[in-house]
Structure 1
Amino acid sequence: MSNLNKWTTQHIVKKCNGDGLCGAYPDWGMHPSWIAGVEGLDAYNRWVCEVVIPIVFQWIDEHKKEVYEGVSDEHKDDVGVVIASAFEIVKKMSSYTNGLIKAEEFEEALEKEEVDLKTINPVWTDIAKKVREGTEKVFDEKRNVLKDTIRRADDSSSGSS
C-alpha cells in the first residue's frame, strides 16, 4: 500500500514453521485437541493479519490525514496507536453507531427467539459444525482404547477434569 509511514504496519505471517504455529508441536507431542486449538488460533491470527489488517490499513491510508492528525510523531509508527486513532474516528461514523443499535436489537430479538440463526454466516457455521463433527467422530472411533478419558468442551457428564 502506498504512503504508509512504515513497513511494519502489516505483518504477513509465514506459513507453517516460519512465524506461524502450524506444526509447532509434533502430533505425538501434545493432546490432539490442544494441537488443533493452537493451530486453529494460528489460522485465525493469519486471517486477521493477512485479510483483515490489510483492509484496515487501506481504510487508514484513505483517511490518512484525519487518522494521523492527533498522533504524535513519536507514535506515528506504532500500529496500536494508529489503529486507536482510526477507531476514534470510526466510532463517530453512522455505520458504527447504527451497528451498536442493531446489535442491541439483535440481542433483544435473540432473547425472544425471533432470529433465524441459519441465515447468519452459513458458510462459517457449516465449517465449524463439520470440524466439530469430525473431531467427535475420530475421538469416538478411539473410545475403545481411550475409555472415559475423552473430554469435550460441552461434556459435563464425563469424569473429573
Structure 2
Amino acid sequence: MRYGIAIFPSKKIQDEANSYRKRYDPHYALIPPHITMKEAFEADEEEIENKIIPELKRIAKDTDPFSIAIYKASTFSPVTNTIYLKVENSEEIASLNEKLHSENLPGAKEFSFVPHITIAQKLSDEEFSDVHGSLSMLKFDLHDTIDRFQLLYQLENGAWSVYETFRLGQEEQ
C-alpha cells in the first residue's frame, strides 16, 4: 500500500488554499490542503505497525510544536506549472523533514525540501502564466502553529486518508 506523511494546516489556511484549489488543482477532491513532509512510499501492514509507527511516535515526541508563516505564492516553474503558497522555511520544519527521512523509515528523498501548499497544478502554459501573474501580486499574511503530523494512506480511487495522527512534543496516549 502507498503511504505518505503530511501536515494539515489550520482551517483558515486550508480555506485560503481551497479558494484557489477549487479552480486550479485537479487533486482538490483527493486530499485537503497540506504540506508534504514525506513523499509517497510503499509499505505493508506489518511494516507500518511494527516499524514505521513506533519510529513516527518517537520523532513526534522529540519534536516541539512550531510556527509557520506564509507571505506569498510561488512556483516550481520551469520544472512544472505548479503554483503554491510558500511556507517560510524554518529550522523546525526542516529538522522535522530530515527526521522523517532517516534510515529508519522507507522512501528516499527525491527532491530538495521546499515547504509549500499546492494551490494550482497541471495548468496549460497560458493558464499558468495568467494565474501566476495575478497571484504573484498578492501578499499573504498567514500564520499557524503546527502541533501534529499525519501518516496517510492512498485509497484505490487515488484519494488520501489519515491512518494515524502524531502530536508533537507529547508522550504516547
Same fold (TM over 0.5): no
Higher relative contact order (CA 8 A, sep 6+): 2
TM-score, normalization by structure 1: 0.25
Higher strand share: 2
Higher helix share: 1
TM-score, normalization by structure 2: 0.24
Larger Rg: 1
